[in-house]
Amino acid sequence: MSTSENDNQKKIEQAKKSLHSYTRYSGIAIQMIVIIGALTYLGYFADKYFETSFPVFTLIFLLVSVALAMYTIIKKI
């Protein structure tokens, strides 16, 4: 192998690592958005179902979802 082929191989490997990192962290971000969105919607639905005057369930589920999303991220990283 010549030096230029070796350099090209290193560049290809570096690009693959960058792409792998990008897809991994993008997946984690999407998972975080889904967790927060789903639980917040569930809280909103509970507030409508129980006809609360103050969005208690929305706030509770929002806080729980953020904590759960953070736990998930820390566990994966």
**pTM of the predicted model as reported, rounded to 2 decimal places:** 0.80
Condensed to tens digits (0 to 9), the pLDDT of residues 5-16 reads 777 788 888 877
| Amino acid 20: pLDDT | 84
Query: In this prediction, what percent of the chain has a pLDDT beyond 70?
Result: 96
Query: DSSP letters along the chain, please?
Result: --HHHHHHHHHHHHHHHHHHHHHHHHHHHHHHHHHHHHHHHHHHHHHHHHT-SS-HHHHHHHHHHHHHHHHHHHHH-
What's the rounded mean pLDDT across residues 33-59?
96
| Amino acid 77: pLDDT | 80
Cα–Cα distance for residue pair 7/21, rounded to 1 Å: 21
**43 close to 62: Cβ distance less than 8 angstroms:** yes
Q: What residue type is 65 in one-letter code?
A: S
What's the rounded mean pLDDT across residues 57-76?
95
